[in-house]
Chains A and B, each alone.
Chain A
Amino acid sequence: MSVLEVPVLSVKQMNKQFGNGCSTCKNMKLGKMTKNYCHKCGTVYACRDVTFDLYQGEVLGIVGESGSGKSTLMKSLYFDEEVTDGEMYVAGFEDGKKNLFIESAQKKRYVRNHLMGKVYQNPILGLKMNFSSIGNIAEKLISAGNRHVGSMETRGAELLEEVNIPIHRMKEEPKNFSGGMQQRVQIAKALSNNPPILLLDEVTTGLDLSVQASVLDLIKGLQRDLNISIVLVSHDLGVIRMLADRTLVMLEGKVIERGLTDQILEDPQHPYTQQLVHSLL
């Protein structure tokens, strides 16, 4: 590691609002807004001025209560949502010099298909439930430019084996699978194009403890063996403590605190972070 380290992913002053905003909320006048919601025009400011860097091989944790903007941020990073304004740079695209948020849909698709993988909190968003599991993986491989059926099948089987889905069930549809299995098929799919960046949105929420453990072990192994950079959203501080090197805390769309994970957990500064950490202990 050199002193001048280049981030794999860099997000600068990203804003995402739902609604057009009015003269009241545009000036962010206090008293007229409840949290990040404007009473006058109904605009929700989901992400406000979010800035962070992600470096190679690290896990960046994002914590925050429901509605704090975590998932909107993740959707924006994967171009599922169009941002209101802001900048995003990815090292593997044009040397990290072009703001991806203002690039064409085609370029965004390229980055999404070749440089990123995402696991959604809800498997329905990440998988086609009526396709076979291996077909789901092939879909991502085809988007990444793969056209050889034999090699795609080999790769798919390899990945499903890695995430402990029995090979004799690879032709089965994910809708027949348990939640934990669906989540693991999603992870296999997200990994199929060897992405340098992996976005994980609440991957363990709703899974029982032992399945949660196997998914977490899988993630830890991926980071260790493949040196992937991961953005990990979770409201489970135990998961964050176990996996994340650095952590951002979000509240009402803003990043209110950031630091090394042990700093956040042992020396929280913001009243909300203190409340959050004390809820854990």
Chain B
Amino acid sequence: MENILDIKDLSKSFILHNQCKDIQAVNNITIRVKKGEFIGITGKSGSGKSTILKSIYGTYRVQEGDIWYESSHYGPINLAKATEREMIYLRKHEIGYVSQFLNVMPRTTARQLVTEAILEMGQSREIANMETEKILDHFEIGKELRDSYPATFSGGEKLRLNIARAMVKRPRLLLLDEPTASLDHDSKLKVKTLLEQLMKEGTTMLGIFHDLEFMNRLVNKEYSIQNGCFNQAIQKI
């Protein structure tokens, strides 16, 4: 199997000008991810887990190292040096990001949220409307909720909607930033089923988890991180 993501010697530090401080978040991280693999990243709070995901997604600007990603549109592309427009394209079509927080436009209903994501992909409104209903059914977002604002949803509903929105784009690479934090047991099980389905469909995933038991049942490989450096890599399946 070929690699879809090849992170080489990634380092990222934050310079805080007002405190004259330089905080090293991750240091010399190397990860290889094969197509269809599910990688789990574990570690204490502040150890640099999210920094890795945000560096891949382009939210953080990388100072050193390369993040080679095998794009279906651009071919091999170094995300650490990609242009803003390239990143916007990849986010729209290939790379998804799900966090425990639902960051959405205010005054947009759940239905609009999903429909707009499909429209962004260039589908017609008719198809988008049909697809939206299917996806919301699939993620068990109740019919009575679909025309209300996600800001009023419960944590579990928000998260499912969040994953649903990321899913409609059928990303080749999905980044999960603590997707199960603050969820009850039932909601976790629903998320687990969804993630398993995505794995079956061949989506490559990188996820951060605090719930190790949950993670261990899903991932192929685990990287444990300490103070911005890798401690160990454990092959699971």
Also in contact, A275 and B18, with CB within 8 A (given A217-B107, A245-B88): yes
Residue of A nearest to B51 (CB): A267
A229 CB → nearest B CB, Å? 13
A37 at interface by CB-CB < 8 Å = no
CB <8 Å contact, A274 and B16: yes
**CB nearest to A275 among chain B residues:** B18
The CA of A58 and the CA of B89, in the complex, are separated in Å by 12
Q: Is B94 located at the chain interface by the 8 A CB criterion?
A: no
Residues in B with CB closer than 8 Å to A5 are: 85
The 5 closest A-B pairs by CB, nearest first: A271-B17, A267-B60, A262-B59, A266-B59, A246-B84
Binary B-proximity of A242-254 (CB < 8 A = 1, otherwise 0): 1001100000000
A269 contacts B by Cβ under 8 Å: yes
- Assess the B106–A259 pair: CB atoms within 8 A: no
Q: Which of B34-90 contact A (CB under 8 A)?
A: 54, 58-61, 73-74, 84-85, 87-89
Bound-complex Cα distance A58 to B92 (A):
13
Bound CA–CA A178/B18 (angstroms) = 42
A271 CA / B21 CA spacing, docked (Å): 12
Q: Which of B111-135 contact A (CB under 8 A)?
A: 116, 119
Assess the B59–A267 pair: CB atoms within 8 A. Answer: yes
Q: Is the CB of A224 within 8 A of B87?
A: no
A-B contact sample (6 more), CB < 8 A, given A246-B84, A246-B88: A3-B74, A5-B85, A55-B85, A213-B106, A224-B119, A263-B61
Tell yes or no: B153 within 8 A of A by CB: no
A220 interfacial by beta-carbon distance below 8 Å = yes
Chain A residue with the shortest CB-CB distance to B57: A262
The CA of A220 and the CA of B120, in the complex, are separated in Å by 13
A224–B119 CA distance with the chains assembled, in angstroms: 9
- A79 to B89 Cα, complex, angstroms: 32
The reply to whether B107 and A213 form a contact with Cβ atoms under 8 Å apart is: yes
Q: Are A220 and B84 in contact (CB under 8 A)?
A: no
A271 to B85, CA, bound (A): 25
* Shortest CB distance B111–A (Å): 15
A interface residues, Cβ below 8 angstroms from B:
1, 3, 5, 55, 58, 213, 217, 220, 224, 242, 245-246, 258-260, 262-263, 266-267, 269, 271, 274-275, 278
Contact of A267 among B18, B61, B87, B106 (CB under 8 A): B61
Q: Which residues of B contact A278 (CB under 8 A)?
A: 18
- How many angstroms from the CA of A214 to the CA of B60 in the assembled complex? 32
**Can you list 21 A-B pairs with a CB-CB distance of less than 8 A?**
A3-B73, A55-B85, A213-B106, A213-B107, A224-B116, A242-B106, A245-B88, A246-B84, A259-B61, A260-B84, A260-B88, A262-B58, A263-B58, A263-B60, A263-B61, A266-B60, A267-B14, A269-B15, A269-B61, A275-B18, A278-B18
Q: Which B residues contact A (CB, under 8 angstroms)?
A: 14-18, 54, 58-61, 73-74, 84-85, 87-89, 105-107, 116, 119
**How far apart sit A263 and B107, CA to CA, in the bound complex (Å)?**
24
Q: Give the chain B neighbours of A262 by CB distance below 8 A.
A: 58-59
> Closest residue of chain A to B62, judged by CB?
A267
Contact indicator B74/A259 (Cβ below 8 Å): no
Residues of A within 8 A of B85 (CB): 5, 55
Given A5-B85, A245-B88, A266 and B74 contact (CB-CB distance below 8 Å):
no
In the bound complex, residues from chain B placing their C-beta under 8 Å from that of A259 are 61, 84
A259 to B18, CA, bound (A): 21
Q: Let me know if A1 and B89 touch, CB within 8 A.
A: yes
CB atoms of A274 and B18 under 8 A apart: yes
Kindly report which residue of chain B lies nearest to residue A220, judged by CB atoms: B105
CA distance A58 to B119 in the complex (A): 15
- Tell me the bound Cα distance from A278 to B119 in angstroms: 34
Q: Tell me how far the C-beta of A275 lies from the nearest C-beta in chain B, rounded to whole angstroms.
A: 7
CA distance A229 to B5 in the complex (A): 33
Q: Is the CB of A260 within 8 A of B58?
A: yes
User: Residue A274 contacts which of B17, B61, B105 (CB distance < 8 angstroms)?
Assistant: B17
Nearest CB of chain A from residue B71's CB, rounded to whole Å = 11
Closest partner residue, chain B, to A274 (CB atom): B17
Residues of A within 8 A of B88 (CB): 58, 245-246, 260
Cβ A271 vs Cβ B18 within 8 A: yes
Per the bound structure, the CA–CA distance linking A55 and B84 in Å amounts to: 11
For A53, the closest partner residue in chain B by CB is B85
CB-nearest residue of chain B relative to A262?
B59
Bound-state Cα–Cα, A269 to B87, Å? 19
B contact residues around A260 at 8 Å (CB)? 58-59, 84, 87-88
> What is the distance, in angstroms, from A239's C-beta to the closest C-beta of chain B?
11
Across-interface contacts of A245 in B (CB, < 8 A): 88
Give CA–CA (A1, B88) in the complex, Å. Answer: 11
Contacts of A267 in B (CB 8 A): 14, 54, 59-61
